[in-house]
Amino acid sequence: MLRILVPDLYVPSIYAVNAETLVEKGIRGIVTDLDNTLVAWNEPEAPDKLVHWLDGLREQGLRVCIVSNNKEVRVRPFAERLAIPAVYEAGKPRIRAFMRALEIMRTHPGETAMIGDQLFTDIAGGNRMGMYTILVVPISDKEWVGTRMMRLLERQLLRRVAPPLTRAPEGDGR
């Protein structure tokens, strides 16, 4: 049961995710959470560093799709500004939204990575699908009240199930 909550990789931020390494592993697509993974919760703008990181993924031939439990009014405008497809009100960890993301990217679970900041939604959903899962440290403590409550249990589980935190090498993560 706990295996579903164990990420393949645990990193301090998305910037520690190396696109070349993912491609070498056979990854062709990336499903990513939005809030506290790409940007702080409800942050409307993408910083230049995020745009650069996403460009690096695309340069390596990786497809990207945002899958978020947040509402359309939050997710759609953010994704459109970055020209990334998105699935909102996803209901993670249920697999319906993950299946939609795979369809959009035209990838299979074994060639797709899931990047997110929560064990019970992002990592559990990605593992249920058979994806390569990457847990990132949340960007901010500010988040939806329900998520804050789940973080208490998540912190206890992290001590037991997560692989050691992998530090980013110097550079931009590409």
Residue 112 within any structural domain of the chain: yes
Task: Read off the pLDDT of residues 9-28 as tens digits, 9 standing for 90 and up.
Answer: 999 999 999 999 999 999 99
Domain range holding 136? 2-161
Q: What contacts 139, CB < 8 A, 6 or more positions away?
A: 13, 36, 37, 39, 40, 41, 117
39 found inside a domain: yes
pLDDT of 3 reads 85
Residue 174 reports pLDDT greater than 50: no
| Residue 140 host element (H or E) | none
- The yes-or-no verdict on residue 172 having pLDDT over 80 is no
Domain assignment of residue 148, yes or no: yes
Alpha-carbon distance of 62 to 69, in angstroms, equals 23
169 lies in some domain: no
In a domain, 171, yes or no: no
Confidence of residue 149 (pLDDT cuts 50, 70, 90): low
pTM strictly above 0.75: yes
Q: How many domains does the chain have?
A: 1
CATH number of the domain encompassing residue 16:
3.40.50.1000
Beta bridge partners of 116: 135
